[in-house]
Amino acid sequence: MAPHWTLRQLRLVALAAASGSYAKAAQDMGLSPPAVTAQMKVLEEDIGVPVFERVDGRLRPTAAGQELLSAQERIARALSEAERAIAALKSPERGSVVVGVVSTAKYFAPMALAAFRRRRPEIELRLIIGNREDIIRGIVSLDFDVAIMGRPPPALEAETRLIGDHPHIIVAPVDHPLFKRRKRITPADLTRESLLVREPGSGTRMLMERVFEEAGAPNPPIAMEIGSNETIKQSVMAGLGLAFISAHTVAAEVADGRLRVLEVEGLPVVRQWLAVRARDKRLLPAGQALMDFLEREGASFLPQMPGGEGGRCYLPEARV
């Protein structure tokens, strides 16, 4: 027999789980506490197991409660998608797009999205920035219509559109002794230096480890883990160490002489920026328009390295 759960009951489960209290859930729903208690009792009788247990005076979902929470999230997402699809049917030129952006892309993605908004002011954009793991999670959960990132993992079935090249380099303080060396620097030479790196799970961190391993210098010395490209740049300028980093994050500092690019064998490593969507994600016209725009014009918003710095890092002139 099919369950008789209602959307209201599932919503109450979500609110009670978030607040740890039936009373707060009742307040949020505009119901009396006895009404909520009665609803939850009916639900538990229907499924035959408890939905919540009390721990230190707060409600905590049981395993069955967690299943109901997952179901409520999927239903809420489906209803939201339906609402957006109906709005698009009524006004095909309008719509909204939820965009996930890896933190390294924040040096060009906002400018690209602003240009898109100027072209299509009727389309609403919501921007969410996170590290690679955050963005992959958002793609898998279908929370994002479009993501701007590097190549997603092979297991993730996704449509990708090329935006442009994404070079990675080693930067150092402008007065670092390695700049006085005449012969080209190897990754093995850098194992005697202090490296400032992003947190585990960061795409930049994973690429750095791969570069050193392929060069025969695995397990490079890590002086400090730093969760922000901005803090890494400031730390390198302060003389705390070197950093393997996206060229696009340091273009301004290299251009004005606050950082220098080390000429290291095998670098720059050039990956690609991509616009990504999950194949299971229903892409409405607004999202399709953004994907097309990023593929067509996204490269023009990538930061440029000064000529002669970082090998292949310098990019075509930006469009006005």
Shared domain check, 276 and 156:
yes
Would the pLDDT of 2 be above 60?
A: no
* Residue-level pLDDT at 51: 86
Would the pLDDT of 311 be above 60?
A: no
Shared domain check, 257 and 111:
no
* Interatomic CA distance for residues 37 and 26, integer angstroms: 9
* Residue-level pLDDT at 43: 84
- Mean of pLDDT values over 283-305: 92
Give the range of the structural domain holding residue 151, as residue numbers without chain letter: 93-165+272-313
Would the pLDDT of 15 be above 90?
A: no
Which 3 state secondary structure label does DSSP give 236?
helix
What is the phi/psi pair of residue 199, to 5°? Answer: -70, 155
Pick from 46, 77, 108: which residue ends a domain?
Answer: 77
Shared domain check, 195 and 287:
no
CA nearest 7: which of 104, 74, 85, 63?
74
Mean pLDDT of all residues belonging to the chain: 87
DSSP state of 199: P
Structure tokens at 238: 């302060």
- Mean of pLDDT values over 118-137: 93
- Residue 85 counted as domain residue: no
Shared domain check, 23 and 51:
yes
* Interatomic CA distance for residues 119 and 173, integer angstroms: 41
Would the pLDDT of 268 be above 80?
A: yes
Shared domain check, 148 and 282:
yes
The total number of structural domains that make up the chain: 3
Would the pLDDT of 314 be above 70?
A: no
Partner residues linked to 261 by β-bridges: 171
Shared domain check, 277 and 159:
yes
Q: Higher-confidence residue: 3 or 116?
A: 116
Q: What is the pLDDT of residues 81-123, one digit of tens each?
A: 777 767 666 655 678 899 999 999 999 999 999 999 999 999 9
H/E element holding 147?
Answer: strand 146-149
Shared domain check, 220 and 100:
no
Question: For the whole model, what pTM was predicted?
Answer: 0.70
- Residue 87 counted as domain residue: no
